[in-house]
Homo-oligomer: A and B are copies of this chain.
Amino acid sequence: MRKFNYPIMPEIMQRWSPRAFSEEPLAEADVLALLEAARYAPSCFNEQPWRFIVAQTQHELQAMQDLLTEQNLAWAKRAPVLLLLIAKRTFTEGGKDNYWHMFDVGTAWGYLSLEAERRGLIAHAMGGFSRKRTAEMFSLSPDLAPIAIVAIGKLGDANVLSPALREREKPGTRRPLSETVMKH
């Protein structure tokens, strides 16, 4: 059970990462609103290092599903939308390495995840996919780092999951702040 010591945004308190996706398609306006939320994240020098590739047709979904690990595919194959999050490694002005490229894309993903919750949708980011085959499939330049594939959709019936995954189908807990805040 999650324990909250302070009242915070309902979207943060209620959001978790389910695996039981419904196959029901999403409205285009919902998908675009999630990207709208993501693009308004702050970033270093307002570089906006995030890039997105959206898979929602049968053909696009199939291609992106093929990049997932077997464990993720087992549940994520039902998601009506898969979204590849990409980070641009260098600053567009000057071309120097952007130390914050991953950090900033994480912020954008955070905004997207809360907008999904607000809309009654679920979003589950996966690190388990082939970054090498992703870069090949989408002909990503070396400057573009694939980070995560996000499954987006609506919550479905947990009975579609294997017993092992059904067991894990609940909000994850967190370390207490006392183990996260370091002494000055």
Interface residues of chain A, those whose CB is within 8 Å of chain B, are 2, 4-9, 11-13, 15-17, 29, 32-33, 35-37, 39-42, 44-46, 48, 50-55, 60, 63, 86-87, 99-100, 102-111, 113-115, 118, 125, 127, 138, 147-148, 172, 174-175, 177, 180-184
A52 pairs with B182, CB closer than 8 A: yes
The one of B9, B33, B184 that contacts A54, using a Cβ cutoff of 8 Å:
B184
Separation of A6 and B15 alpha carbons in the complex (Å): 21
B54 pairs with A32, CB closer than 8 A: no
Given contacts A39-B180, A55-B184, contact A100 B114 (CB under 8 A): no
In the complex, the chain B residue whose C-beta lies closest to that of A98 is: B127
Smallest beta-carbon distance A127→chain B, Å: 5
The complex is assembled from copies of this chain, and their number is 2
Separation of A55 and B184 alpha carbons in the complex (Å): 7
A127 pairs with B107, CB closer than 8 A: no
* A29 surroundings in chain B (CB, below 8 A): 6
Separation of A137 and B28 alpha carbons in the complex (Å): 50
* A45 surroundings in chain B (CB, below 8 A): 127
5 further interface pairs, Cβ-Cβ under 8 Å (given A8-B37, A51-B181, A103-B103)? A5-B32, A15-B42, A46-B172, A55-B184, A103-B148
* A109 surroundings in chain B (CB, below 8 A): 103, 106-107, 110
A100 pairs with B118, CB closer than 8 A: no
* A107 surroundings in chain B (CB, below 8 A): 106-107, 109-110, 113
* A108 surroundings in chain B (CB, below 8 A): 106, 110
Smallest beta-carbon distance A95→chain B, Å: 17
B100 pairs with A39, CB closer than 8 A: no
